[in-house]
Amino acid sequence: MKLPGNMQSMMKQAQQMQQKLQEEIAAIRVEASAGGGMVSVKMDGQKNVLGVRIDPEVAGDVEMLQDMMMAAFNEAAKKVDEEAQGKMGGMLGGMGLPPGMF
């Protein structure tokens, strides 16, 4: 189906913006910690774990370590979501779409 010239141009621009957004999200790097910094997690924009640091003091208490790991992972994932939303909001705002549409 052939779209009118203006619509075709808009679709191409939207595809380019989507690709740029995906690249920006992939470049996100966050770090989150739990237990006052006893456990920290580094994560990228696709929520892949890039690193984990555990203070040797908590290594002996398995239950506490598990709780801190879960908290740090969840906090890192939340940070990724917030940064991705910020990038999407900034990019979509430039398109002149009504607020709340995405």
Largest CA distance in the chain: 67
Look at residue 92 in the predicted model and tell me its pLDDT: 62
Of 29-33, 49-53, 80-84, 90-94, which range is least confident? 90-94
- Which pTM value belongs to this model? 0.72
Q: Is the pLDDT of residue 102 over 60?
A: no
- Non-local (6+) Cβ contacts of 68 within 8 A are 34, 35, 38, 39, 58
Q: Which domains, ranges and CATH numbers included, belong to the chain?
A: 26-81 (3.30.1310.10)
Q: pLDDT band for position 77 (50/70/90)?
A: very high
Look at residue 91 in the predicted model and tell me its pLDDT: 67
* C-alpha to C-alpha distance for 6 and 97, rounded to whole angstroms: 17
